[in-house]
Every structure is written in C-alpha cells, then in structure tokens.
C-alpha cells in the first residue's frame, strides 16, 4: 500500500537535498525536511473508510456528529426541566426525574458535547490541516479513541434504561448522597455514569496523545510554534490540561465505583440512612470534592481555551485584520491553562474547609482575570478599525465577546469568598456558569461550524437561516439568563424541582420562571433550524469556491477542497509566515496565505514572523 508513497519519498529527498546547497541567499528558503513523509493507512473497504476510519478528518466529523447528537438529548432534557419549573402544577416530572434530568443535562453538555466537540471534533479536523500534516501521528489509536467515546456515550445512555434510571446526584456526583438510598439511580445509574466517565477518559487519553504529538512533532517545514493559528494553541493547551486533569476524575470515579460496588469507605462517613446505620465508616466526602474539582476547574478551561483560540481566528479573518498581540494571546492561553490548576477549591467555599484556603483560592481565582482580560481587550483591539464583515462567523464571534465578558464579570463576584457565600447554590451561579461556559463556547461552536463548513462539505450554509438562528439564539440566551441573575440575588435556590409559593420568595420570580421557559422553548426550537441548515446545506447549499473566506491559514490551501486523504497531494506545504497577514500595505490582495513565498509579495510590508 505504501509503494506509491515510497516513490514520492525518493523524489522528495532529491528535491530537499539541494535546497541547502544554493549559494546565493534564497529569500524563499525554508529549513530542510527533518523527517521522511508520513506513511498513511489507506482504507480499502466501506467499513474502514466510513466506520472505522483512520483519517483524522473523518474521525473529527464522527466525533462532532456523535457529540451534537448527544447534546440534542441534553437540550431536550433542559426543555423538560424548564417546563416543570414554570408550570409545576402540570406535574410533568416526578421530583426524581427532575434531578435525573438536571444531572444528565449537566454531564452531557460539559463532557459529552463540549469537550468531545472542541477537542475530538475540531481538534481532529483542524490540527493536521492547520499544522500542515498528512494526518494525526497515530491514526489507529485515533480511531480507537473515537470508538471508546462511542462506547462511553452508549453506557451513559444505557443508564436511562436500568431499574431506578440514571443518577440524580447532580453533575458533580457528590458522595455520600450519590450512592445512598434516596438519590435516584443510587445503585444502578450512578455506576453506569462512573463507568462511562472512565471510558471517556481512556478514549480521550488516546486522542489527546495524538493531538499533542501532532502539534509538537508533525508541523510543516517553516511552521514554527509561533506561526501556529491561535485555534491550534487553544486546542493544544486544552488537551494538555485534559491530560493532567482527567486523571483526578478517573481516580475519583474509580474510588466511588468501589464504594458503591464493594462497600469500601473511601468517601463514605458513618451514616444513618432510612433509620439504619450503614456499614460504611471513616471515609472523607471532602476528598471526592477535591478530586472532582481538581478535574472540574481545568475542565472549564478545556472548554473555554479552544473557544478562545477559534474566536481569535474568526475575528481576524472576518475583520480582515491582524490579530492584536499574537504573542500576548499565546501566553495568555498558556497562563490561563497553568493557573487553572491552582483555583479548584473556589468551588468549595461552603464545603467547610479551612477559611485560609478560601483566601488563597480567591486570590488565585482573581489572578486568572488578568490574562483573560488581556484576551478580551485584544479581541476588541483586533476589531478596532477593522473591515468588519457581518458574516455568520463574525456575528457569533461578536456574540461570544459580549457573553463571555458578561459571564466573566459575574465570575469576579463568585470568586470572592464573602460574596460567594450568600450567592452559593442560587440561580446566580446557574446564570454565571451557563453564560461563561455554556452560551459563550456554544456561540463559538456555531461560528466555527459556519466558518469551516465549506472545508468539510464544499458548500456554504444558508446565510438567511443562519442569521435567524443567530439572533434568536443570542437574544434568547439573554432572555433566559439575565432574569436568572435577578432570581439568584433574591435568593431562589438552584436544584429545586418546584419553587413553592413561599413567603420568602418574591412572586415576581415565579412569573420570571414562566418567561424564561418560553424563551428556552424558542431558543431550543431555533437549534432545530440550525440542524436543518447543517444537514440540508450539505446537498442544497451554494457551492463554495476555494478558500471562500480568503483566509491565510493552511487548511484552506490544500490542492482540493474538501481536502482528500493525505491532505496535501504530492507536496507537503511550506510555510513562510503566520496566518494573520491581512490588509498588508503594498500587497496586491488583502490577504497573504501562509504558503505564499516572499518572492511573490515583494513590496508588501509584512511583519516578520
């Protein structure tokens, strides 16, 4: 199978051999190839092409579709929860189903939708293309990674069909209640949830090793780390975080599984349950909280950093402007990633830990605001005097900046112990984290899908439908989450399946609940419009020209669009600059692709990168 590639290899080695022997200084010179061309797996059957595919592009699409399908379930669950909250008299949900749906909604959206979509989906699709590689470093392991994810999803969904149903412990799965009678799914659903998470971590580790090695070792000639698009920096840093954060989740899950199945007492103190003394004693429930949040806080950035990276690229391309402060952006991504390992206990201010811990973690939490603010300023300065095109990716990116800023500012409130304690477990927290790690990254996901859709299908998505989708989603999310901030301030607690007519809770919040639910139903329906657009455009969409957005980065410079197996045809690309040379004075076009040699753009005042 590799004969054809070996031929190419011989031809190439001749070519690269004489590049260094040119005597006159060649302005188009790039360093010699360090490695022979990558040997690829070539599929021979329908099964190995479309099902057990080893091509990162296909795996990316598989990951994305599986994640979106699972996310759709999370969306439906949120509808049901909101209907219950707005009209508890209808009796749509049992209290137990409400808790189960809260739990599944949270876990699905954070782990099985956003993490899988950003890293598995966009990571697989974009890393090899943007780095100038033919594929991931280990295509076979990459395929295993996807199928482990599928098994994890199947196990998760299977928990809907076991006696007792899925776990209702909340997405944080805190013991002892998660595995104690009285919590829905305490002896069936929770086990499947824990096993599913363990499988997810195993699958992700296989994929994550691929992403890291591909970025570090498989870049094209001339592609230095500081010439990588910020998308890759975001995905790469998020993957590194995941490799170090998921172990804590894995250990926590394993220990809770043993507590539940074998009767060990890692997390279980001595307890009286339903009038009987349990056999457990001497365990530490706080230990689980530490393990969980040592994973859980970096997880926020595992979702946010790819969004930061992608949005930087979208803003730059669609405002025809160099990204402002590229190096600052890179260091901010890396800095946020590193700091995210030192803030986890700000999720535990009310857990009864030593108050000095709260002081320490509040400080580190507020320090994270610095690199994050740098990023927001840089996005705004990128737009400053740019040629802003209100295309769909741009609209969603603008929506992201506002939403992220909003969620970030409420984060400053919650990061301070004294302010957090009264706001803890209210709807203010719900509003905060949905704004900052729900809506904001999802807006980037939409922007990114509209942006890279032509790369995948060769067609454009429908612009009008997209604009309707944007405005309903954007305004709708504010209609949903702004009132929740207010509800939180007046003290409405989260995780209650019914807000009773109580003298302590203002009647206005009950009306707001109805308002929010109507907004949720409308916003949810708009996502069906998006799904229609996504699938129908693959056949009906306008044919896209090559490089439809006039972008500079490598993924648009492939010989074919959509790229074929092996991405680059005979010759691997050579990179001469970063991907942000837009509107360069003296250049013929308003963009200079990374592959355009300096000899072709003499006279253009490009920045040296």
Task: Report the residue from 217, 277, 560, 599 that binds other proteins according to the rule CB under 8 A.
Answer: 217
Task: Report the residue from 263, 355, 562, 586 that binds other proteins according to the rule CB under 8 A.
Answer: 263
> Quick one: which segment of 180-188, 275-283, 451-459, 487-495 binds other proteins (CB under 8 A)?
275-283
> Quick one: which segment of 169-177, 218-226, 466-474, 486-494 binds other proteins (CB under 8 A)?
218-226
Q: Give the Cα separation of 516 and 493 in Å (integer).
A: 16
Q: Give the Cα separation of 522 and 259 in Å (integer).
A: 43
> Nearer to other proteins by C-beta: 221 or 320?
221
| 34-63 positions binding other proteins, by CB under 8 A | 34-35, 39, 41
> Nearer to other proteins by C-beta: 269 or 491?
269
> Nearer to other proteins by C-beta: 149 or 211?
211
CB of 31 to other proteins, least distance (A): 6
> Nearer to other proteins by C-beta: 278 or 419?
278
**CA-only gyration radius of the chain, Å:** 25
> Nearer to other proteins by C-beta: 81 or 242?
242
CA atoms within 13 A on the CB side of 447: 31
Q: Cβ–Cβ contacts within 10 Å for residue 267, how many?
A: 25
Q: Cβ–Cβ contacts within 10 Å for residue 571, how many?
A: 12
The answer to whether 205 and 249 have CB atoms below 8 angstroms apart is no
The number of angstroms, rounded, from the C-alpha of 120 to the middle of its chain's C-alpha atoms is 9
Q: Give the Cα separation of 101 and 104 in Å (integer).
A: 5
Residue with tokens 């669609």: 318
Q: Give the Cα separation of 148 and 142 in Å (integer).
A: 10
> Nearer to other proteins by C-beta: 147 or 478?
147
> Nearer to other proteins by C-beta: 91 or 282?
282
> Nearer to other proteins by C-beta: 31 or 422?
31
The number of angstroms, rounded, from the C-alpha of 69 to the middle of its chain's C-alpha atoms is 15
CB of 158 to other proteins, least distance (A): 25
| Beta pairing partners, 276 | 273
CB of 230 to other proteins, least distance (A): 17
Nearest to 235 by CA among 146, 131, 328: 131
> Nearer to other proteins by C-beta: 241 or 516?
241
Distance from the first to the final alpha carbon of the chain = 39
> Nearer to other proteins by C-beta: 294 or 470?
294
Q: What string marks each residue from 186 to 215 as x (binds other proteins by CB under 8 A) or -?
A: -------------------x--xx--xx--
Q: Give the Cα separation of 404 and 381 in Å (integer).
A: 16
The answer to whether 362 and 417 have CB atoms below 8 angstroms apart is yes
Task: Report the residue from 254, 271, 369, 456 that binds other proteins according to the rule CB under 8 A.
Answer: 254
Size of residue set near other proteins by CB under 8 A: 56
Which H/E stretch holds residue 126? helix 124-131
Examine residue 262 and tell whether it contacts other proteins (CB under 8 A).
yes
Task: Report the residue from 4, 10, 94, 281 that binds other proteins according to the rule CB under 8 A.
Answer: 281
> Quick one: which segment of 89-97, 108-116, 145-153, 259-267 binds other proteins (CB under 8 A)?
259-267
| 363-392 positions binding other proteins, by CB under 8 A | none
Task: Report the residue from 191, 250, 392, 444 that binds other proteins according to the rule CB under 8 A.
Answer: 250
CB of 262 to other proteins, least distance (A): 5
| Structure-block tokens of residue 134 | 């033919």
Examine residue 31 and tell whether it contacts other proteins (CB under 8 A).
yes
> Quick one: which segment of 178-186, 256-264, 330-338, 386-394 binds other proteins (CB under 8 A)?
256-264
Nearest to 214 by CA among 329, 134, 118: 134
Burial of residue 14, with CB atoms counted within 10 A of its CB: 0-12 exposed, 13-18 middle, 19 or more buried: exposed
Examine residue 266 and tell whether it contacts other proteins (CB under 8 A).
yes
Examine residue 566 and tell whether it contacts other proteins (CB under 8 A).
no
Which H/E stretch holds residue 542? none
> Nearer to other proteins by C-beta: 47 or 377?
47
Examine residue 597 and tell whether it contacts other proteins (CB under 8 A).
no
Q: Give the Cα separation of 197 and 194 in Å (integer).
A: 5
> Nearer to other proteins by C-beta: 13 or 508?
13
Nearest to 361 by CA among 375, 377, 344: 344
| 144-163 positions binding other proteins, by CB under 8 A | none
Q: Which residues contact 276 (CB under 8 A, 6 or more apart)?
A: none
* φ, ψ dihedrals at 547, nearest 5°: 50, 60
Nearest to 398 by CA among 470, 300, 453: 470
The number of angstroms, rounded, from the C-alpha of 493 to the middle of its chain's C-alpha atoms is 28
Task: Report the residue from 93, 220, 383, 423 that binds other proteins according to the rule CB under 8 A.
Answer: 220
Examine residue 138 and tell whether it contacts other proteins (CB under 8 A).
yes
- Site residues, other proteins (CB under 8 A): 1, 30-35, 39, 41, 137-138, 140, 205, 208-209, 212-213, 216-227, 243-244, 246-248, 250-252, 254-255, 258, 262-266, 270, 279, 281-284, 287, 290-291, 294, 575
């Amino acid at each position: 199978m590799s004969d054809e590639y070996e031929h190419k290899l011989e031809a190439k080695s001749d070519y690269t051999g004489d590049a260094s022997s040119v005597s006159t200084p060649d302005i188009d010179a790039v360093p010699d190839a360090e490695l022979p061309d990558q040997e690829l797996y070539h599929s021979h059957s329908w099964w190995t092409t479309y099902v057990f595919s080893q091509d990162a592009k296909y795996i990316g699409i598989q990951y994305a579709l599986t994640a979106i399908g699972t996310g759709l379930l999370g969306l439906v669950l949120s509808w049901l929860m909101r209907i219950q909250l707005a009209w508890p008299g209808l009796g749509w949900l049992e209290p137990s189903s409400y808790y189960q749906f809260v739990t599944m909604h949270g876990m699905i959206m954070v782990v099985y939708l956003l993490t899988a979509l950003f890293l598995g989906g966009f990571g697989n699709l974009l890393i090899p293309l943007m780095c100038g590689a033919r594929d991931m470093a280990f295509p076979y392991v990459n395929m295993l990674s996807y199928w482990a994810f599928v098994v994890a999803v199947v196990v998760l969904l299977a928990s809907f069909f076991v006696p007792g149903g899925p776990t209702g412990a909340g997405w944080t799965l805190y013991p002892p209640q998660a595995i104690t009678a009285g919590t829905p799914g305490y002896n069936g659903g929770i086990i499947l949830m824990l096993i599913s998470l363990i499988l997810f971590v195993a699958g992700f580790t296989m994929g994550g090793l691929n992403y890291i090695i591909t970025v570090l070792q498989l870049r094209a000639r001339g592609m230095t780390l500081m010439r990588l698009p910020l998308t890759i920096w975001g995905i790469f840093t998020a993957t590194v975080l995941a490799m170090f954060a998921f172990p804590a989740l894995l250990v926590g899950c394993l220990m809770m599984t043993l507590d539940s199945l074998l009767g060990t007492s890692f997390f279980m103190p001595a307890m009286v349950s339903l009038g009987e003394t349990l056999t457990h004693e001497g365990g530490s429930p706080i230990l689980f909280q530490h393990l969980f949040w040592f994973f859980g806080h970096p997880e926020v950035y595992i979702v946010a950093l790819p969004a930061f990276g992608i949005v930087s690229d979208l803003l730059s391309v669609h405002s025809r402007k160099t990204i402002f402060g590229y190096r600052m952006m890179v260091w901010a991504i890396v800095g946020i990633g590193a700091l995210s390992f030192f803030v986890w206990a700000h999720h535990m201010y009310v857990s009864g830990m030593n108050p000095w811990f709260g002081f320490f973690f509040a400080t580190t939490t507020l320090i994270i605001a610095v690199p994050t603010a740098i990023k927001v300023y840089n996005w705004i300065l990128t737009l400053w005097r740019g040629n802003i095109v209100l295309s769909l990716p741009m609209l969603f990116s603008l929506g992201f900046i506002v939403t992220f800023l909003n969620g970030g500012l409420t984060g400053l409130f919650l990061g301070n112990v004294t302010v957090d304690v009264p706001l803890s477990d209210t709807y203010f927290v719900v509003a905060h984290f949905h704004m900052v790690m729900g809506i904001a990254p999802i807006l980037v996901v939409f922007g990114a899908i509209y942006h890279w859709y032509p790369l995948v299908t060769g067609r454009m998505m429908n612009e009008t439908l997209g604009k309707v989708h944007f405005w309903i989603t954007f305004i709708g999310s504010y209609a949903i989450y702004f009132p929740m901030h207010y509800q939180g301030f007046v003290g409405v607690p989260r995780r209650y399946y019914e807000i009773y007519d109580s003298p302590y809770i203002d009647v206005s919040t009950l009306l707001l609940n109805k308002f929010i639910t109507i907004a949720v139903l409308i916003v949810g329906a708009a996502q069906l419009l998006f799904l229609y657009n996504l699938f129908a455009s693959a056949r009906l969409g306008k044919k896209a020209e090559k490089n439809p957005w006039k972008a500079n980065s490598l993924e648009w410079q492939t010989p074919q669009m959509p790229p074929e197996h092996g991405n680059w045809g005979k010759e691997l690309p050579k990179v001469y600059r970063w991907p942000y040379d837009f509107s360069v004075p003296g250049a013929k076009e308003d963009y200079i692709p990374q592959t355009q040699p300096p000899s072709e753009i003499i006279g253009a005042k490009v920045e040296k990168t």
